[in-house]
Amino acid sequence: MVLRVTCLGVACCLLFGVNAFPDEPVLPDVLVTRQLAARAHLAVGDVVAFTTDQGGAPATRFRVAGIYEPTPDPMRFTAQRMEARMHLPDLTRMTMDSTDPASAESVDAINLRLVDPAAAQAFQLDVRTRVPGITAYPTARSPDRDPFAVLDRFHVAISIVTVLGGTAFLLALMIIRAEERREIIGLLRLVGISRRSLLAAVLLEGLFIAAIGAVFGIVLALAGQGIVNRIFQARYDTALVFVRVTPSIALRSIVFAVPLGVAAGLAASWTVLGRDVLSLFRR
Per-residue pLDDT of the chain (283 residues; tens, 9 = 90+): 333 333 322 233 344 444 444 555 689 999 999 999 988 899 998 999 888 877 766 788 899 999 999 988 887 888 888 889 999 888 888 888 777 777 777 777 888 888 888 888 888 888 888 888 888 888 776 666 667 777 788 888 888 888 888 888 877 887 787 777 777 777 777 777 777 777 777 778 778 888 888 888 889 989 899 899 999 988 888 888 888 888 888 888 888 888 887 887 777 777 766 666 655 555 5
Q: Are residues 156 and 273 in the same domain?
A: yes
Q: Are residues 101 and 161 in the same domain?
A: no
Total number of domains constituting the chain: 2
C-alpha distances (whole Å) from 71 to each of 36, 68, 76 are: 14, 9, 10
Q: Are residues 134 and 152 in the same domain?
A: no
Of 138, 169, 200, at which residue does a domain stop? Answer: 138
Q: Are residues 225 and 121 in the same domain?
A: no
Of 106, 138, 170, at which residue does a domain stop? Answer: 138
Q: E-assigned strands of the chain?
A: 2-7, 29-33, 47-50, 60-68, 84-86, 109-113, 134-138
Q: Residue 243: which domain range?
A: 147-280
Q: Are residues 85 and 197 in the same domain?
A: no
Of 90, 110, 138, at which residue does a domain stop? Answer: 138
Q: What CA–CA distance (Å, rounded) separates 264 from 258?
A: 10
Q: Are residues 163 and 276 in the same domain?
A: yes
- Residue pair 113/102 in contact (Cβ under 8 Å)? The answer is no
